[in-house]
Amino acid sequence: MTTATAPVPLQPKDFASDQEVRWCPGCGDYAILKAVQKVLAELGASRENTVFVSGIGCSSRFPYYMSTYGFHTVHGRAPAIATGVKLANPALDVWVMTGDGDGLSIGGNHMLHVLRRNVDLQIILFNNEIYGLTKGQYSPTSRQGTRSPTSPAGSIERPLSAATFALGAGGRFVARGIDTQQGPLVEVLKRAHANRGASFVEVFQNCLVFNDGVFDGFTDRKVAEERQIHVEHGKPLLYGKGRQKGLRLNPAALTLETVTLGEDGVTLDQVMVHDETNRTLAGMLAALEGPAPVALGVLYCAPVTSFTSAVYAGGEAVTGELDALLRQGKTWEV
Amino acid sequence: MSSSSSVPGAAQAAGLSVPREQAVVRFAGDSGDGMQITGARFAMETALAGSDLATFPDFPAEIRAPIGTTFGVSAFQIHFGSVEVATAGDDLDVLVAMNPAALITNISDLRRGGIVIVDKGAFTERNLTKAGYTANPLEDGSLSDFTILPLDIGRLTEAAVAGMGLTSKQTGRSRNMWALGLVLWLYDRDRQVTIDWITKKFGKDPAIVEANVAVLNAGHAFGETAEFPNFLRPVPIGPAPVEPGVYRTVSGTEALAWGLVAGLRAAGLDRMVFAGYPITPASPILHALTGLRAHGVVTFQAEDEIAAIGAAIGASFGGALGVTSSSGPGIALKTEALGLAIATELPLIVIDSQRAGPSTGLPTKTEQSDLFQAVLGRNGDAPMPVIAAATPSDAFEVAIEAVRLATKYMTPVFLLTDGYLTNAAEPWRIPDVTTLPSFPVAFRTDPEGFQPFVRDPATLARPWARPGTPGLEHRIGGIERDAGSGNISYDPDNHARMTETRAAKVAGIAADIPEQAVAQGEEEGELAVVGWGSTFGPIHMAVQRARLAGRKVSHIHLRYISPLPRNLGDLLRRFDRVLVPEMNNGQLVMLLRAAYLVPAERFSQVNGKPFKVSTILGAILERTREHPTGGAA
């Protein structure tokens, strides 16, 4: 006789595979791996219904370190392959793990279209502003002047903003996190998971071998408070020590400007309140540049029907008769 | 009217002629003249009369090229008979030319004494110049080898719709129906099905229905009442002797689409994800499958060729049957992902509707020049099965076979067709669906001892373990996989073992496919003509005629190109010579020579057109001896 017992909730470690993780010691990818495992445990996810699909690059080794289903594919194509997985079985929970080279350079076209179509996926883009696995060439998100084996005098190319790209492609969920900030990152990933559609999360991830400290300008503990703004829907856009700084809309210039409460007569009601359904505001937040803070959290979330929901709007049942198919149209008997 | 076709060259010298129970008709006009519709309607009436037939739509790459230009000419050819018809025909018995451009680009295919029906109203100074005529060919005697029927079809059409309130543009657009009516008369065909079709197609506009039917009838009535020369009277071409059953016409596209659905059923799968990107001439397959949701087909128009194969591979990983389709340049783009499907050993079907290449080549013209690409064109040692359809209806069976091989062996499969097969149509006896093959897929469900790359010892196939199955969670990828766990393995011996296993798995399919049969003729002789794909028709007819003339020639036609049938080497060695006609610069011939060290001989045609029977017949006659007891008629 067997007795039914409630399933034991899985712990973060239960989502780890038996494979030895082969990222460089100290790589930001470890932190993202831990955050994702924590998210899955806290969401009560099942291993069998979870699929990680990746392309090529350091970030794309991710699926091997998970105890779920996983598919390490070819460079840049993970969004297309994940779309196929989802079309085959819309019930699966599918994550795309990618990087700035994989997702925005060789796979930029697929990223554009998976966002435009709003395929129900969580897309986590590890942005370290460098090609790591090929030993440090500048990437499409590298800042001008980045010195690398292919840009010894400094990169002359203008970088792409991942979040701006995602918004421009028609993404309905665009968020940001930092590898080492597990609390906010876990919350962002949970929000991404809750959204039914393409959820794009850019994670600023430090490559300590080829681009170490590239994000120190806003992630270093000494400057973090002044250089980061964690946005929350319905809350004023405040940051800085004691949350005394804020973002105010300058309607004449159509920009967000930084202000300090109490200075020049600035009051709290002049500070912009975050509305994550406002695409224009999301675009302004994504485009903030120093000395303004870097916007983190859910910049934009305005759900619409996901691609797979629309594809299967008429149901999934197979009702057609092969014989009738072959006999449709004009036939004659001999 | 005589309906014989002349056979030029060596064949003529040998005193051969084709039977008189068949005819070849081509409708040619501007891209906007409705020639494809006209041809398709004539084909349907012919099919319903029971004749055997083969069609060859031939259209330009441009959608609506400037009116009256030679590069804007669209044509539809049909070969029909009360005897077996296996090709779209060599030389024309009747050419319908709606303007000078259609005449100048097609007249060379009309046999001597053939009939050319021209719309003389379109032979204006301007149109003659555009076509490149310096004098009006209807007046200068240059067509004296043919029977010319110069008719003012435009004016006759106007007369037929007088008082019906049509605009001149609407009237002009129904000229094709007049020509169709006349040709239906010429071959004593019924018109009812065409009338029904017009009624359905233009049902929302009764005036257009009435006008088109009136024009069709007017063309027919003209034939009945006109004082044509005595020899010009209806030529009934009766039913061909075929097996009893329910028939329909089927294009290569339809047969392929329905074969995939039949294969899906045979595999016991409830979902196919067909991902494609528009490309000539493969797009019709995507069109045909869109709308078959009730049959388990989900179509996905991807952002590019790479995404299309990516989605198909993802679908197969997800537990559905992934299928993608393209033509040469698109297949080239899919190549990297094909390697992934081979490496991860997932079922996948890749359809290549070949066209003339390289690069953009001739998008609407047919060729067989992707054979190397299919068999060899990948990085690494990357074997996969390659099979090819021979005729439009054969695509049905070949599609089912592709599904069988892909699912049984957990491998991508190349299914080769071409621009000709995709568009061509023929009568097809609808199969009894209860007799179709059955090869249900057994998804792995038992976690006990599961490892993603532990293989079935007989087939060497790995298990298909769908996400969503508890206890079978695993990771696969393009980095070399451990022979058991599938985890990343950089072990040199493991890579050697996996490379050999992948090769052995595909090679082993040779034991699971039929031995190569001889399509026609003995299993030994002076000459074996070896073909694959859409050259079946012309080779078949050429070998048939040569054999009637007593030549010791056989036809061997390959459905399976990789792996090759296990007895093929022995079979080829029983012939003195081996000739390999191909619409490429010599690809199968190189594979055969490499595989068997046989002195197979190249016979290429790369003009973007199907072989003529006479071309292959001439080659056969040059390579075989006359035998006094031969039965040439």
Q: Are B452 and B465 in contact (CB under 8 A)?
A: yes
- Segment among A192-196, B205-209, B345-349, B434-438 with least mean pLDDT: B205-209
Alpha helices in B477-587 (DSSP H): 492-508, 536-548, 568-572
Q: What DSSP character marks residue B573?
A: T
Q: What DSSP character marks residue B619?
A: H
Compute the C-alpha angle B363/B368/B369, nearest 5°: 80
Token pair 């992948």 in the structure block, residue:
B502
Confidence band of B629 (pLDDT split at 50, 70, 90): low
- Beta bridge partner(s), residue B25: B78, B94
Amino acid in the structure at residue B562: S
Confidence band of B233 (pLDDT split at 50, 70, 90): confident
Select the residue from B199, B300, B473, B481 to test the A interface by mutation, using most A Cβ atoms within 10 A: B473
Closest by CA to B327, choosing from B419, B423, B395, B450, is B419
The C-alpha atoms of residue A83 and residue B300 are separated, in whole angstroms, by 10
Domain annotation for chain A: domains and CATH numbers: 12-228+294-312 (3.40.50.970)
**pLDDT tens digits in sequence order for chain A, 334 residues long:** 455 566 788 999 999 999 999 999 999 999 999 999 999 999 999 999 999 999 999 999 999 999 999 999 999 999 999 999 999 999 999 999 999 999 999 999 999 999 999 999 999 999 999 999 999 999 999 999 999 999 999 999 999 999 999 999 999 999 999 999 999 999 999 999 999 999 999 999 999 999 999 999 999 999 999 999 999 999 999 999 999 999 999 999 999 999 999 999 999 999 999 999 999 999 999 999 989 999 999 999 999 999 999 999 988 889 999 999 999 989 999 8
Kind and range of the H or E element at A131?
Answer: strand A130-131
Closest by CA to B96, choosing from B154, B26, B24, is B26
- Helical axes B305-317 vs B328-344, angle rounded to 10°: 30
Select the residue from B303, B435, B469 to test the A interface by mutation, using most A Cβ atoms within 10 A: B303
Q: Are B102 and B70 in contact (CB under 8 A)?
A: no
Phi-psi region of A145 (alpha: psi -120 to 50; beta: other; left: phi over 0): left
pLDDT given for residue A8 in this prediction: 80
Closest by CA to B561, choosing from B602, B509, B618, is B509
Interface predicted TM-score of the whole assembly (ipTM), two decimals: 0.97
pLDDT given for residue B31 in this prediction: 87
With 80 as the cut, is the pLDDT of residue B169 above it? yes
Q: Cβ neighbours of residue A249 under 8 Å, at least 6 residues apart? A: A255, A256, A257, A272
Structure tokens that stand for B88 in this block: 């779209």
* For residues B110-120, average pLDDT: 95
Amino acid in the structure at residue B46: T
Subunit contact A77:B469, Cβ cutoff 8 A: no
User: Who wins on pLDDT, B169 or B62?
Assistant: B169
pLDDT given for residue B234 in this prediction: 81
Amino acid in the structure at residue B465: A
Confidence band of B3 (pLDDT split at 50, 70, 90): very low
A72: nearest CB among B292, B314, B477: B477
* For residues B220-225, average pLDDT: 92
Pairing verdict, β B321-326 and B272-276: parallel
- Beta bridge partner(s), residue A200: A123, A174
The C-alpha atoms of residue A66 and residue B488 are separated, in whole angstroms, by 14
Token pair 């594919």 in the structure block, residue:
A73
Q: What share of chain B is helix, strand, coil (3-state, %, to 5)?
A: 40, 20, 40
Token pair 């599961």 in the structure block, residue:
B450
The C-alpha atoms of residue B296 and residue B268 are separated, in whole angstroms, by 11
With 80 as the cut, is the pLDDT of residue B2 above it? no
Q: Are B172 and B154 in contact (CB under 8 A)?
A: yes
Kind and range of the H or E element at B118?
Answer: strand B110-119
pLDDT given for residue A2 in this prediction: 52
Select the residue from A21, A60, A72, A81 to test the B interface by mutation, using most B Cβ atoms within 10 A: A81
Interface membership of B64 toward A (CB under 8 Å): no
B507 in helix, strand or coil? helix
B48: nearest CB among A47, A326, A332: A332
DSSP count for chain A of H helices, then E strands: 11, 14
In angstroms, what is the C-alpha Rg of chain A? 22
Q: What are phi and psi of B99, to 5 degrees?
A: -160, 175
Subunit contact B270:A329, Cβ cutoff 8 A: no
Token pair 């010195």 in the structure block, residue:
A147
* For residues B583-587, average pLDDT: 98
**Minimal Cα–Cα distance from B512 to chain A, Å?**
26
The C-alpha atoms of residue B603 and residue A70 are separated, in whole angstroms, by 49
Confidence band of B64 (pLDDT split at 50, 70, 90): confident
Structure tokens that stand for A314 in this block: 């008429």
Subunit contact A89:B304, Cβ cutoff 8 A: no
Interface membership of B450 toward A (CB under 8 Å): no
Q: What does the DSSP assignment read for B292-343?
A: -GGGTEEEEE-SSHHHHHHHHHHHHHTTSEEEEEE-HHHHHHHHHHHHHHHH
Compute the mean pLDDT over every residue in chain B, rounded to the nearest whole number.
93
Compute the C-alpha angle B497/B500/B503, nearest 5°: 150
Q: Are B382 and B411 in contact (CB under 8 A)?
A: no
A334: nearest CB among B242, B344, B467: B242
> What does pTM read for this prediction?
0.93
Subunit contact B488:A311, Cβ cutoff 8 A: no
Token pair 């485009």 in the structure block, residue:
A287
**Minimal Cα–Cα distance from A148 to chain B, Å?**
27
Interface membership of B269 toward A (CB under 8 Å): no
Say how many residues make up chain B: 633
Contact list in B for residue A47 (CB cut-off 8 A) is: 470, 473
With 60 as the cut, is the pLDDT of residue B18 above it? no
* B134-167 per-position pLDDT tens digit: 999 999 999 999 999 999 999 999 999 999 988 9
* B78-101 per-position pLDDT tens digit: 999 999 999 999 999 999 999 999
pLDDT given for residue B226 in this prediction: 84
With 70 as the cut, is the pLDDT of residue B7 above it? no
Amino acid in the structure at residue A163: A
Confidence band of B447 (pLDDT split at 50, 70, 90): very high
Subunit contact B487:A19, Cβ cutoff 8 A: yes
Alpha helices in B68-150 (DSSP H): 100-106, 125-131
B284 in helix, strand or coil? helix
The C-alpha atoms of residue A92 and residue A331 are separated, in whole angstroms, by 43
Structure tokens that stand for B593 in this block: 């020579």
Amino acid in the structure at residue B384: M
Amino acid in the structure at residue B86: A
pLDDT given for residue B238 in this prediction: 87
- Beta bridge partner(s), residue B148: B116
Subunit contact B294:A74, Cβ cutoff 8 A: no
Subunit contact A334:B466, Cβ cutoff 8 A: no
The C-alpha atoms of residue A88 and residue B315 are separated, in whole angstroms, by 5
Q: What does the DSSP assignment read for A188-228?
A: HHHHHHHSSSEEEEEEE---TTTSTTTTHHHHSTTTHHHHE
Closest by CA to B313, choosing from B343, B283, B293, B280, is B343
The C-alpha atoms of residue B146 and residue B138 are separated, in whole angstroms, by 11
Q: Are A66 and A52 in contact (CB under 8 A)?
A: yes
Subunit contact A72:B475, Cβ cutoff 8 A: yes
Structure tokens that stand for B538 in this block: 């012309």
